[in-house]
Structure 1
């Protein structure tokens, strides 16, 4: 029996960081990170998105990262590659390159900087979706892009683009889940794009999260979402409460700076970033380090690990 869209997009999808070493992609560290995600039970992997510093990757590097994700995952998790741009023509090219690299689907963010109208968004997504047969997850993140996908626009795209199959909603409002469900139907998968809102999103009808925090705490994020899905709401809320300090600390500066710093503290990857991103401010790094120490010592998570 073919899985429904809600089933295919259910659970934790990790927005993967791209580890660097001496300016290049550190594929050894990347492979280990992907394996760690799969061992923790994540449902999906999202390479070359915002968290993966896609804006500073060359086309060749992006292709390599997607191919590596597909190879290491080996069918054990769905691979949804970032393919967004503020140029429709470039977004089409990225979509086609991601398919050639073996991605199972695409995460397509709204055009940034341009601030198109809703009509412009419709035209953009229709053009991208018309150029590929891969499933497309819309990505609305107005804090970075300056424009939000209206619920009515989401519904129009679902009606006119058969391969629009889900949305990552990162506008910081739980009310958006209800708005999108009303417009698109309860069978249209919604992901939280904000880790701290994962549980409220699930309670409102979302089916999963595209997570930054799961780079650092994949098993714990999976445990929280899984608890909710099996109806163990008390445990889900307890895990949410225990993770809340980590949610805050990993966004104390712009993503993915804190996530990479946390992975470095854990000895899993270098904190190296590409300009214009810079290393964390010392006070913020100290705060993050303290949160990680408490997190690793937390007895609530001992059995999960």
Structure 2
């Protein structure tokens, strides 16, 4: 687990999928990835929730994973989104991600079905047995309607050596303690909520799978590195620096706000695929104001350092 822990430590960016006139904008995607790498992120997460995986074709998803692997060129880990609410389809997605060169797969709980904990054990076991890649569990009850119980995490980590981590997006740091108590050091924990990154780190998580790092990769990387270096005061300053921006990225359903922020920064277009639509004018104005304040504060912060 030691080697894997070092690979999963730090900021993993949940990449958006930029679109132009309905198609994937590969130029903008490549530029976004390079910006992340220059900021020093540890991992890239294509084809996840933020990447609008639900409305990508299988061919688009596999191509984006392969492109991310090529663009990363070993500079960051590629953790590919590969979840579905059908176990057979999930396995197909995982195998496509493996074929595309991903380093690991992020597998969300089946949505809509609301499986029992026994169903989750059976689902993730089938996935783990179908791949050689490390598998990262993804618990996000606000979107999927089901949470992975700490005891279920323990069962899966004990039974399958390639189930190695969990992206925890249940909205409370208490879950980190519960998972650690159930699993010990058998399961790496990532924060799945940007605003809880620092609290999660303080109770045993080692990184974050981040939405806001699409916009502010440098500051997110600095936050985690400050914590790792024992500079808790600086980590707290950075947490407070990005707090309003983090809240702004969720004033409407993700990834609408983060795409609006990137469009305002001339980094990618605001286009989404139905049933997602661009944020309202009122939200866009709020995001513009938040982004302006953040940009000013971040520049002042970096100058002081």
| TM-score, normalising length: structure 2 | 0.98
Runs of 4+ in 1 over 6 A off after TM superposition: none
- Whether 2:83 is the aligned partner of 1:84: answer yes
Which residue pairs with 2:267 in the alignment?
268
Please list the CA deviations of residues 229-276 of structure 1 after superposition, one character each: whole Å capped at 9, or x if unmatched: 100000000110111000100100000000101000000000000000
Please list the CA deviations of residues 72-100 of structure 1 after superposition, one character each: whole Å capped at 9, or x if unmatched: 00000000100000000000000000000
Deviation at 1:6, TM superposition (A): 2.1
Which residue pairs with 1:126 in the alignment?
125
Deviation at 1:208, TM superposition (A): 0.3
Whether the 8 Å CA contact 1:219–1:304 is kept in 2: the answer is no
Whether the 8 Å CA contact 1:223–1:304 is kept in 2: the answer is no
| Distance in structure 2 (CA, Å) of the matches to 1:150 and 1:281 | 36
Whether the 8 Å CA contact 1:154–1:180 is kept in 2: the answer is yes
| Distance in structure 2 (CA, Å) of the matches to 1:44 and 1:65 | 15
CA gap 1:301/1:62 in 2 versus in 1, 3 angstroms: farther
Deviation at 1:55, TM superposition (A): 0.2
Q: Secondary structure at the match of 1:214?
A: helix
Which residue pairs with 1:209 in the alignment?
208
Which residue pairs with 1:287 in the alignment?
286
| Distance in structure 2 (CA, Å) of the matches to 1:278 and 1:206 | 33
Matches within 5 A, 1:100-249: 100-186=99-185, 188-249=187-248
Q: Secondary structure at the match of 1:162?
A: coil
Matches within 5 A, 1:1-40: 3-40=2-39
Coordinate RMSD, CA, aligned: 1.3
Deviation at 1:10, TM superposition (A): 0.4
Q: Secondary structure at the match of 1:209?
A: strand
| Distance in structure 1 (CA, Å) of the matches to 2:43 and 2:4 | 13
Matches within 5 A, 1:62-73: 62-73=61-72
| Distance in structure 2 (CA, Å) of the matches to 1:104 and 1:238 | 33
Structure 2: gaps (5+ residues): none
| Distance in structure 2 (CA, Å) of the matches to 1:128 and 1:188 | 17
Whether the 8 Å CA contact 1:186–1:205 is kept in 2: the answer is no
| Distance in structure 1 (CA, Å) of the matches to 2:148 and 2:121 | 9
Structure 1: gaps (5+ residues): none
| Distance in structure 1 (CA, Å) of the matches to 2:258 and 2:304 | 20
CA gap 1:205/1:304 in 2 versus in 1, 3 angstroms: farther
